[in-house]
Amino acid sequence: MAFEGLTERLQNAVKKLRGKGKISESDLRDTMREIRLALLEADVNFDVVKDFVKVVRERAIGANVLEGLNPAQQIVKIVNEELTRMMGEEDAPLLKSPKIPTIIMMVGLQGAGKTTTVGKLANKLKTDANARPLMIAADVYRPAAIDQLQQVGNQIDVPVFQMGTDVDPVEIVKQGLAQAETNHNDYVFIDTAGRLQIDEQLMDELARIKALANPTEILLVVDAMTGQNAVATAEGFDNQLDVTGVVLTKLDGDTRGGAALSIRAVTGKPIKFVGEGEKMTDMDIFHPDRMASRILG
């Protein structure tokens, strides 16, 4: 289960304070040390942890936790609020273009869950908002990628625009957008190529697609299981493309939590959705407050 180790350690850190009417400075110091270790062990970014611990400690002292009643409860409340803040505080809904279509460009490393997420989002818009999305297959390097998107399209009954693998992806996007205009699609998803790691050629191609399509959203799909690598990936993509948001996938796995807790703080970009399984319906809007409560258990 996701966050299992972190939840247990955070609970243990605070448990020692339970039942105490008053705590000493050294109790607080011990608790903060354990919270710090719990977060580091969950693979949360070092600087993010440092800032977090400092703020929680200052707030605890400011709130007179040492003098007050039920210090454990007060610290849990502060930790909950600061975890929420670390993940962005407010929900970050999908942006909508004032004029159709809203173009959503999906980027990410190979295997992160890009194609699956394109399907999940298109399916969600179709189901919740009666939208008429079109999905463009712009990954020409892996023939299987086009088949996979086509399969997803069949499954959720959403059309796929593709031109095979011998055409420049920028041209594919151009023609796909023309088709969307003809057919009055209100959302267009561009499923771009991924690589095992960030490279210049890929970034150049993505930048050209961005320049042509002028998307409302550039959503970066990252695999939560990869912890700090996911954070580094997010920084890399964001530096080159200025992404508008992040989709964190595979939160149904036993991820330690580092990516979920660090990405917003490190990149400044909100997590918008989380993937929690392989099925088309296994996706949720990301709510920082609910995630914080889930982490605290």
Closest by CA to 44, choosing from 195, 267, 260, 273, is: 260
CA distance 171 to 213: 11
The answer to whether 280 contacts ligand GDP (rule: CB under 6 A) is no
Of the residues 71, 113, 133, 176, which one makes contact with ligand GDP according to CB under 6 A: 113
CA distance 246 to 224: 11
3-state secondary structure of 252: coil
Backbone angles phi, psi at 251, to 5 degrees: -75, -5
What's at 166, amino acid-wise?
D
The answer to whether 114 contacts ligand GDP (rule: CB under 6 A) is yes
* Smallest gap from residue 281 Cβ to ligand GDP (A): 11
The answer to whether 108 contacts ligand GDP (rule: CB under 6 A) is yes
Backbone angles phi, psi at 236, to 5 degrees: -60, -50
CA distance 37 to 32: 9
* Smallest gap from residue 125 Cβ to ligand GDP (A): 18
Give the CB-nearest residue to ligand GDP. Answer: 275
Beta strands in 145-216 (DSSP E): 160-161, 187-192
Q: Please, which residue, 169 or 194, has the CB nearer to ligand GDP?
A: 194
Beta bridge partners of 103: 188
Place of tokens 């007060």: 74
The answer to whether 278 contacts ligand GDP (rule: CB under 6 A) is yes
Piece in contact with ligand GDP (CB under 6 A), picked from 94-102, 107-115, 254-262, 265-273: 107-115
Q: Please, which residue, 31 or 162, has the CB nearer to ligand GDP?
A: 162
How many residues bind ligand GDP (CB under 6 A)? The answer is 20
The radius of gyration of the chain from alpha carbons, rounded to an integer in Å, stands at: 22
Backbone angles phi, psi at 161, to 5 degrees: -100, 125
The answer to whether 115 contacts ligand GDP (rule: CB under 6 A) is yes
Which residues, 222 to 261, sit near ligand GDP by CB under 6 A?
A: 249-250, 252-253
Q: Please, which residue, 153 or 194, has the CB nearer to ligand GDP?
A: 194
Which residues, 145 to 204, sit near ligand GDP by CB under 6 A?
A: 148, 194
CA distance 188 to 169: 15
Of the residues 276, 286, 287, 292, which one makes contact with ligand GDP according to CB under 6 A: 276
CA distance 83 to 263: 12
99 assigned to a ligand binding site: no
Q: Are 293 and 80 in contact (CB under 8 A)?
A: yes
User: Strands 271-275, 217-223: parallel, antiparallel or unpaired by DSSP?
Assistant: unpaired
Which residues, 32 to 51, sit near ligand GDP by CB under 6 A?
A: none
The answer to whether 210 contacts ligand GDP (rule: CB under 6 A) is no
The answer to whether 68 contacts ligand GDP (rule: CB under 6 A) is no
297 assigned to a ligand binding site: no
Of the residues 34, 73, 100, 111, which one makes contact with ligand GDP according to CB under 6 A: 111
Residues lying near ligand GDP in the complex (CB under 6 A): 108, 110-116, 148, 194, 221, 249-250, 252-253, 275-278, 282
- Binding annotation: 108-115, 191-195, 249-252
